[in-house]
Structure 1
């Protein structure tokens, strides 16, 4: 009888140890980024590493570089599922093609949070994004305001088929329409794939083709607007003779705002990523989980926690101004 009691105690102890070990195992979150070259995406990666639950070891983050290819992202989702990720966060390249990530995650019963860009489905666990229609509208409105709603503009688009290109374009069209019929002419509208390097030669060509006729430059992101600025400078033209705008609030764009060269609408990479991690952890751990990021306090009243179960969280935009630019730069140090 004593022998049985000892065996029972040993078994119980082993069970407790195993249970404690299981509880101590970090939550594994796979983060599928559409590409890792741009500063904005790098800011999201930095935010992931700085989340309190990641820093204390309770969460293990695996970052995937989608290499700007939706099929690569879909394959990476398969890998995340096969390696037993507890949750998936996806920053999708394509509005339609990357719906497969959500479909596969749902089939595997893994929570999937869509961040930054959107997907044409409501089957994800949640999405933590910014309203790109509004972002495009604010961007174009700032450019057109300097032009007094009259003149000629060129538009740099994001990758065709991505939600950013589609929805920011809708916001830009709305702002142009508000200027009144015939007041603003779009001379050129092409993609530079979010790239400063691609925007530069495109702008060079447009400056030659429409010599002296371009008044405004609307970039669907900052990198493309910055490429346009480089082209203008290389053509020995005065940047301040143009009205130029972009979206994201990347470091070089904030500095350009300080110098009076452009306007920028900041998209909060930190809030999008840290918010996504908190929402993912709520889906994994249940109702006892309380958010650990400070972004919920920062945006209280504009974006509330709602027990971490809302279908969509909309991270507010912030206009970069001469007054707040240095504060924004200091926050990145």
Structure 2
């Protein structure tokens, strides 16, 4: 006898007329590190817009980790106790998150990583972008903008999260090859626009007239830095700022010529992770529901949904492609 999970998805895949309301939905939990920042809001909106969620095939629960590894661990305990079918995980801490994944693996619940990584090899699969490359791209953009010589400050993500670790490694890789670029300050602003604003204001006071470029490991922190420059009467067009993510406000700043950023595709990461999770639960009969696979084609092949890792490409945001990228960003319901 085919399981209820396979029945539901067979209807979807084969185009048969089935009453989803009469079938038990597949329960998937999304444990995200926090929902204060715009990127994770975009990611969550994209997940909720995945066709399998929209038509009721999947019963989705989003868990806000509130930027705390223990909170995320406790949320895993809840999902394990309640016997969720699969978990999509965006961890706050690379090392601490590994224990949560191991607990789920021991309970035979597949965990699909998305956006940020955990240590170890217990993830069923991972759908995300290479953050070392992101750090390299933004550092190179600032080095080029300041002519390969000057003083920069670096705004880091939450210490211990994989995006902070990998973007920092990418930044340092570029700066190590450019000895005439000096780092005056580097500190975490925890992906926060407000924390970045306060931190950069302090740096501008401590190093008057000396900061020639700002490297922020996400757009919210880059935008906070731009606010700080303006609060000190400085023109952000004359002190280059780079970020990562391509959030709505960041793209608007690119259009104004105030910063450089690189688009991280929240839809591809979230909806792709859900497709991989469903392939794990349902089996080989499952066909991906999101259109992101068609959109990226050979750049991110489906590979029968069984690959250990899927790399979502980066796209530099420019005034020419800004509107096209804005049109790809999922809106809240």
What SS does the aligned partner of 2:241 have?
strand
Q: Distance in 2 between matches of 1:331 and 1:65?
A: 24
Alignment of 1:51-62 (within 5 A): 51-62=50-61
What SS does the aligned partner of 1:127 have?
strand
Q: Distance in 2 between matches of 1:226 and 1:54?
A: 33
Q: Distance in 1 between matches of 2:244 and 2:28?
A: 28
1:8-30: CA deviation from partner (whole Å, max 9, x where unpaired): xxxxxxxx9xx999982111000
Partner of 2:13: none
1:43-77: CA deviation from partner (whole Å, max 9, x where unpaired): 11111111011111101110000000011001000
Are 2:239 and 1:242 aligned?
yes
What SS does the aligned partner of 1:193 have?
coil
Are 2:186 and 1:189 aligned?
yes
Q: Distance in 1 between matches of 2:170 and 2:245?
A: 15
What SS does the aligned partner of 2:299 have?
coil
Partner of 1:302: 299
Are 2:216 and 1:219 aligned?
yes
- TM-score when normalising by structure 2: 0.92
What SS does the aligned partner of 1:236 have?
coil
Partner of 1:83: 82
CA root-mean-square deviation? 1.5
Q: Distance in 2 between matches of 1:66 and 1:298?
A: 31
Structure 1: 5+ residue runs without aligned partners?
1-15
What SS does the aligned partner of 1:263 have?
coil
Alignment of 1:113-192 (within 5 A): 113-179=112-178, 181=179, 183-192=180-189
What SS does the aligned partner of 2:244 have?
strand
What SS does the aligned partner of 2:176 have?
helix
Partner of 1:264: 261
1:160-196: CA deviation from partner (whole Å, max 9, x where unpaired): 11111110000001111222x2x10000000000000
Alignment of 1:59-74 (within 5 A): 59-74=58-73
Q: Distance in 1 between matches of 2:251 and 2:297?
A: 25
- TM-score when normalising by structure 1: 0.92
Q: Distance in 1 between matches of 2:247 and 2:29?
A: 25
Q: Distance in 1 between matches of 2:325 and 2:32?
A: 24
Partner of 1:326: 323
Q: CA deviation at 1:330?
A: 3.0
Alignment of 1:253-292 (within 5 A): 253-292=250-289
Are 2:47 and 1:48 aligned?
yes
Q: Distance in 1 between matches of 2:309 and 2:324?
A: 29
